[in-house]
Amino acid sequence: EVTLALLKPDLLMDPASIHTILEEIHSHNIHITRRKTLQWTRAEAEQFYNEHQGRFFFNRLVGYMTSGPLMALELSGPGVISKWRGMLGSTHPVRMRVERPKCLRARFGLTDTRNAFHGSDSLEAAKRELKFIFK
C-alpha cells in the first residue's frame, strides 16, 4: 500500500523537526519510497484542495500551503494509510494535545488550518494525490 504524506511549510522552517518526523516514520516500519521538496503556486494549491473549494477555510488553507516550501513523501508498507493517519491524529492540534498528546499534530500542529501534515484518506485519494505530486 502507498500513500502521500505532506510536511507543510511551518515544519520545513525547522530542520530538527523534519529529522524527528522522518525518524518516527522509519520507527513505525513505514518506508519512504519517494521524496520531493516543492513550493506550490496558488493555482497548484487550489487544484490539490479543490474538494474544499467554497468552504470557509479554503482561502486560509491555500494561503498557508503557498507560504513556503513543503515536503512530499510517498510512504509504503502494509496498512500505511491508516498507520500514517493514526500517527497524525485529527486535524485539530489543540484537541489532540488533550486527547492524544504524543501524535504528530499535537506536537507540531498550530491550528486546524496550520496542522503541519497531510495524509491521504483512501487508496483512491492516495493514487490521485501521488500522481499530482510526482507526475
What single letter denotes the amino acid at residue 9?
P
CA distances from 87 to 58, 77, 107 (A): 24, 14, 11
d(CA 56, CA 110): 18
Active site residue 31: no
Residue with cell 510536511: 7
Q: Which of 26, 31, 92, 118 is catalytic?
A: 118
Q: Residue 73 in 3-state DSSP?
A: strand
> Cell numbers at residue 111, please?
491550528
Query: What are the residue numbers of the active site?
Result: 118
